[in-house]
A = this chain, B = another copy of it.
């Protein structure tokens, strides 16, 4: 890990920090804060209801890391208290209430994943929970907080405007959440708040509230929402167009090789340190070369220990329809075999962990999603004998498991 660079000239810091940024409110304020010469407090709000991070999150975490590399302190704010409340009206599926245990477990997993990108030493990483200041707040405190902001400004938020216009109910408490989130910035005395472009409004509330509470207003910096592998929608786990932060190196490499050409510039800018000149050069050349460079850079970043050549070899073998060398193996227990020493193919798929149940395994085969030793399977009931050298099951393009007989 490289050392933290301190006292980097302000203009040089600005050049690094502005890369890939969409909104910067305001550059002037950021400059003034950097000129102060003391470390900035850089806030990122984490949603502990969604603990699975992907490259979309990594875009923002990279920016946080850039702040750390320049000696600034990043603050991961876990909304534990708000997560416990969730949406008490029960109308939002995106905000189911969590128990304190769930929230804490999610927070631990969230932070672990963040540390794949962030420096974890306490000088540049602070983790806070908003229950710290929300739990003791009373009615009078909330009235005082709410008095700082006008209804008109809250309703300017795009989704509120649209829902009210469409006659879709907006519950009163939803209006309080942006204020709460803004108050978090007051409590943390944040100098900068980072977020996706969808957080611009909320983070500007924080900026305004800090002024009302007599603090210097935080700089609001937004980064693009990364488009997923489908080339259309924002990367998200539920759309299955994502590359997980904890995906294995070979998986990550293979997925990156499939990024749509139109997104290459975006991915290079947001997920690598390649210079603009180099990116331009790559985009002008053959797309496979560009993809290869992207896949190597991102995989090396998130898996510093990985053997990139092996990952690439494996990708090529699979692309040609071959079977890669290092694949996981599962031994089939003898009690799974029937009197003739055979077992149903669907059962092997389930035992291999390629599908969660026998039913799902049957469906996979019926849908032509499985190969056995490279040949497409058609009948879930096929009786299979497992040879001593094993049998390779392949689900889709890149999921392989070798089944071995019990000895």
Which residue of B89, B142, B169 is within 8 Å of A152 (Cβ)?
B169
Query: Measured between alpha carbons, how far is A137 from B141 in the docked complex, in Å?
Result: 11
A266 in the interface (beta carbon within 8 A): no
For chain A, the count of residues having a C-beta within 8 Å of the partner chain is: 39
In the complex, which residues 121-147 of chain A have their Cβ closer than 8 Å to any Cβ of chain B?
Answer: 134-140, 142-147
B151 touches A170 (CB 8 A): yes
Interface string of A6-41 (1 = CB under 8 A from B): 000000000000000000000000000000000000
| Closest B residue to A154 using CB positions | B172
A143 touches B175 (CB 8 A): no
A173 in the interface (beta carbon within 8 A): yes
A164 in the interface (beta carbon within 8 A): yes
Query: Measured between alpha carbons, how far is A116 from B164 in the docked complex, in Å?
Result: 48
New A-B contacts (20) at CB < 8 Å, excluding given A87-B147, A138-B138, A139-B180: A81-B140, A88-B143, A88-B147, A142-B173, A142-B176, A146-B172, A146-B176, A147-B171, A148-B171, A148-B172, A149-B171, A149-B172, A150-B171, A151-B160, A151-B164, A151-B170, A152-B167, A154-B172, A172-B175, A172-B179
B143 touches A176 (CB 8 A): yes
Q: A317 — which chain B residues lie within 8 A by C-beta?
A: none
A186 to chain B, nearest CB (A): 14
Nearest 10 interchain pairs by C-beta: A146-B173, A146-B172, A89-B147, A88-B147, A147-B173, A151-B170, A150-B169, A137-B139, A88-B144, A143-B173
Q: A149 — which chain B residues lie within 8 A by C-beta?
A: 171-172
A144 touches B179 (CB 8 A): no
On A, residues with C-beta under 8 Å from B are 81, 84-85, 87-89, 134-140, 142-152, 154-155, 160, 164, 167, 169-176, 179-180
Known: A87-B147, A150-B170, A172-B151. A138 touches B135 (CB 8 A): yes
A90 to chain B, nearest CB (A): 8
B147 touches A170 (CB 8 A): no
Query: Measured between alpha carbons, how far is A176 from B135 in the docked complex, in Å?
Result: 19
Query: Measured between alpha carbons, how far is A136 from B136 in the docked complex, in Å?
Result: 11
Which residue of B146, B150, B171 is within 8 Å of A151 (Cβ)?
B171
14 contacts between A and B (CB under 8 A): A84-B140, A85-B139, A89-B147, A135-B139, A136-B138, A138-B138, A143-B173, A146-B175, A151-B155, A151-B169, A151-B170, A151-B174, A152-B167, A154-B172
A177 to chain B, nearest CB (A): 8
Q: A150 — which chain B residues lie within 8 A by C-beta?
A: 169-172
Query: Measured between alpha carbons, how far is A134 from B143 in the docked complex, in Å?
Result: 11
Q: A169 — which chain B residues lie within 8 A by C-beta?
A: 150-152
Q: A155 — which chain B residues lie within 8 A by C-beta?
A: 151
Query: Measured between alpha carbons, how far is A138 from B81 in the docked complex, in Å?
Result: 12
A86 to chain B, nearest CB (A): 9
A360 to chain B, nearest CB (A): 37
A85 touches B143 (CB 8 A): yes
B134 touches A139 (CB 8 A): yes
Known: A139-B81, A164-B151. A146 touches B171 (CB 8 A): yes
Known: A140-B85, A142-B142, A152-B164. A147 touches B172 (CB 8 A): yes
Q: A139 — which chain B residues lie within 8 A by C-beta?
A: 81, 85, 134-135, 137, 142, 180
A75 to chain B, nearest CB (A): 21
Q: A167 — which chain B residues lie within 8 A by C-beta?
A: 152
